[in-house]
Amino acid sequence: MIGYILTALGSYLLGSIPTGFLVAKARGIDIRTVGSGNIGATNVFRYLGVPAGVLVLLVDALKGWIAVVVLGRLIWNAFHGGADPQAREWLAIIAGLSAILGHNFTCWLHFKGGKGIATSAGVLIALVPWSLLVIFVVWIIVFALTRYVSLASICASVTLPFAAWLTKESFTMISITTAMSALAIYKHRLNIQRLLKGTESRINWRKSSPAPETTKPTS
């Protein structure tokens, strides 16, 4: 039991590192006060450029992967060991979900974080890589057609449980990916409202600077 508790706590703290906030702060900007107000890679990309956005994307994804593969494995070896695949699977799941919750509800920013897409991708690389490949293709197609990052992320999230079923994952993994999908969609609820109103921002590669937001920044 202590191993599961330490995994959840350690993974939450790892996931809670507010990468986008820290990168923007190093440039003298509070990312929460510009654009959508989100600390994720998309908002950083719009206001700080491609290199900063890519950095945030990679580090946020790495948080999820490290939680499952490195932290989870270290704690398993220290407190459990053995060859119980079901117990080890659950430890990995706890690590992944805790990292996502840490990113989405970071304790360092009054429990207001990002949407968890990049961190979820890192977790999925470790847990269900083939399912991630399926939803990545969906993301690319939707983004290429619409240039809405949020819509692409929502569509990929909706597809995730079906991708897990298609790639013959266990019932446990299908259930967990369903929960991850629901959380991601919930975190995009304001984006959904803006999409329905036609006020959501698109990615425009020809822009030299971000267009003014038409909605009040949200956390």
The pLDDT value given to residue 2? 86
What DSSP character marks residue 70?
I
Neighbouring CB atoms inside 10 A of 74's CB total 13
Can you give the pLDDT of all 219 residues of the chain as single tens digits? 788 999 999 999 999 999 999 999 999 999 999 988 999 999 999 999 999 999 999 999 999 999 999 998 888 888 776 667 788 889 999 999 999 999 999 999 999 999 999 999 999 999 999 999 999 999 999 999 999 999 999 999 999 999 999 999 999 999 999 999 999 999 999 999 999 999 999 987 654 444 444 444 433
Residue 70 burial by Cβ neighbours in a 10 Å radius (0-12, 13-18, 19+): middle
* Interaxial angle between packed helices 129-146 and 149-166, expressed in degrees from 0 to 180 and rounded to the nearest 10: 150
pLDDT of the residue at 116: 96
Domain boundaries of the chain, sorted by first residue? 1-127, 128-204
Is 131:124 a contact under the CB 8 Å cutoff? yes
Nearest alpha-carbon partner for 75 in 173, 172, 2, 12: 2
Which pTM was predicted?
Answer: 0.90
Tell me the C-alpha distance between 136 and 160, whole Å: 10
pLDDT value, residue 134 = 98
pLDDT of residue 206: 57
